[in-house]
Amino acid sequence: MLLDTYGRQAVDLRVSLTDRCNLRCTYCMPEEGLNWLGKPELLTDEEIVRLVSLAVGTLGVREVRFTGGEPLLRPGLVPIIAACAALEPRPEISLTTNGIGLARVAAALRDAGVDRVNVSLDTLDPDTFARLTRRKRHQDVLDGLAAAEAAGLRPVKLNAVLMRGVNDHEAADLLAWAIDHRYQLRFIEQMPLDAQHGWDRTQMVTAEEILELLRARFELTPEPSAARGAAPAERWLVDGGPATVGVIASVTRPFCRACDRTRLTADGQVRNCLFATGETDLRGALRGGADDAELAELWRAAMWGKKAGAGIDQPEFHQPERPMSAIGG
Ligand code: SAM
Ligand code: SF4
């Protein structure tokens, strides 16, 4: 099992399949993109499946979420998922995507074994989308969402990040639209994980503010069954339910005490936290001929060293060197 000294067990594995992306969300990466990893640095499809298999078969991982960068850009995505879905015990498999190209592959992803998708959509307005992501691809995302729903990847979840003066006025509109389409919306507080280090706490739209914006139009009551557990989102019933909305207050109300995650970057590094400043090199060990027992021991040791919290509120907080897109959000 993947335990740490605070009694937490990691059962939820986030796998980044690539650090590349076809959008340039301003809260994530600069206009010119980043120094992408080269092919030799990336884990191969077989290496990814071997490590996921180890995590699921030996280390107690029960959920695998593929992310990036943009995971739909990974050519081997469908076969990787099919191989992971064939593992025993079968893990829950999900995908976090910006939705571009999802219209083409939603059915194939479902057939390969994807159980759920989270699609990021921050705005209903194509112009705001273009400003926020620096690409005119709003309609592609909407098409992707519709295809995911049609393929039965339900409930389709939406992730939205609000930025002050850019899209924060859309909070209630986004929720109304999501409910209308039976998508489950979650707002995420903007975190200091952008490559350009432009995050500014005073500019961040807080969970409290988000709830206030929503309460101007909807009645929100805490979801009674929602013992928050390891789920990062606090969920609210909208106008008495059954529709819900989630708010992930990673900065103002962090959920580190219940964190059950472990992360594998596209270049084969284990991270025990989004905000970790250190990594454990599984790729080097794997390519150096390590057997499964040795790899498992490295992974266990990486998690054992997990800190109590991300420490965003501490004066000594340092943003990790790698941005969200390289870690796998
Ligand atoms: N490209 C895919 C996408 O956008 O869904 C997957 C990777 S992306 C890094 C995963 C999630 O992280 C997205 O929902 C995105 O909005 C969110 N994200 C990126 N940068 C963020 C930041 N600085 N603070 C909070 N969320 C962020
Ligand atoms: Fe790409 Fe996702 Fe980052 Fe946007 S948030 S730039 S879609 S990786």
Ligand 1 centroid–CA 189 distance in Å is 10
Checking if the pLDDT of 38 tops 70, the result is yes
**Cβ of 158 less than 6 Å from ligand 1:** no
If phi over 0 gives left and psi between -120 and 50 gives alpha, with beta otherwise, what is residue 79? alpha
What percent helix, strand, coil does the chain show, rounded to 5?
35, 15, 50
Local structure of residue 9 (DSSP, 8 states): B
Ligand 1 centroid–CA 101 distance in Å is 17
Q: Ligand 1 pocket test: which of 161, 204, 319 has the largest number of ligand atoms within 8 Å of its C-beta?
A: 161
Which ligand has the shortest distance to the CA of 251?
A: 1
Q: CA-CA distance, 50 to 321, in Å (whole number)?
A: 27
Nearest one of 166, 150, 144 to 158, comparing CA atoms? 144
Nearest one of 103, 56, 112 to 79, comparing CA atoms? 112
Nearest ligand 1 atom, CA 28: 20
Tokens 């309460």 belong to which residue? 215
Q: What is the dihedral of CA 51, 52, 53, 57, to 10 degrees?
A: 110
Ligand 2 centroid–CA 277 distance in Å is 21
Burial class (CB in 10 A: 0-12, 13-18, 19+), 80: buried
> 88-107 as b/e, with b when 16 or more CB fall inside 10 Å?
eeebbbbbbbbbbbbbebbe
Burial class (CB in 10 A: 0-12, 13-18, 19+), 242: exposed
For 245-298, how does the pLDDT look when each residue is reduced to its tens digit (9 = 90+)?
A: 999 998 998 888 999 999 999 999 999 999 898 999 999 999 999 999 999 999
pLDDT band at residue 9 using 50, 70 and 90 as cut-offs: very high
Task: Between 12 and 312, name the one with better pLDDT.
Answer: 12
What angle, 0 to 180 degrees and rounded to 10, lies between the N-to-C axes of helices 77-85 and 45-57?
20
Which ligand has the shortest distance to the CA of 118?
A: 1
Checking if the pLDDT of 233 tops 90, the result is no
Ligand 2 centroid–CA 98 distance in Å is 7
For 114-169, how does the pLDDT look when each residue is reduced to its tens digit (9 = 90+)?
A: 999 999 999 999 999 999 999 999 999 999 999 999 999 999 999 999 999 999 99
Ligand 2 centroid–CA 314 distance in Å is 27
For 186-207, how does the pLDDT look when each residue is reduced to its tens digit (9 = 90+)?
A: 999 999 888 788 888 888 999 9
Nearest CA, atom 8, ligand 2? 69
Nearest CA, atom 20, ligand 1? 28
What angle, 0 to 180 degrees and rounded to 10, lies between the N-to-C axes of helices 126-133 and 138-150?
100
**Cβ of 274 less than 6 Å from ligand 1:** no
**Cβ of 159 less than 6 Å from ligand 1:** yes
Which ligand has the shortest distance to the CA of 19?
A: 2
Q: CA-CA distance, 249 to 232, in Å (whole number)?
A: 8
Checking if the pLDDT of 311 tops 90, the result is no
Checking if the pLDDT of 176 tops 60, the result is yes
Checking if the pLDDT of 226 tops 90, the result is no
The domain covering 12-327 belongs, at the CATH homologous superfamily level, to Aldolase class I (3.20.20.70)
Predicted local confidence at residue 228, as pLDDT: 56
Q: CA-CA distance, 107 to 98, in Å (whole number)?
A: 17
Ligand 2 centroid–CA 136 distance in Å is 14
Predicted local confidence at residue 229, as pLDDT: 60
Mean of pLDDT values over 42-55: 98
Predicted local confidence at residue 316, as pLDDT: 72
**Cβ of 99 less than 6 Å from ligand 1:** no
Mean of pLDDT values over 32-56: 96
Which ligand has the shortest distance to the CA of 135?
A: 2
pLDDT band at residue 328 using 50, 70 and 90 as cut-offs: confident
Domain residue limits, the chain: 12-327
**Cβ of 248 less than 6 Å from ligand 1:** no
Pocket of ligand 2 (CB under 6 A): 21, 23-25, 28-29, 68-70, 98, 120, 325
Within the chain, how many helices (H) and strands (E) appear? Answer: 10, 12
**Cβ of 84 less than 6 Å from ligand 1:** no
Chain mean pLDDT for the chain:
93
Nearest ligand 1 atom, CA 194: 23
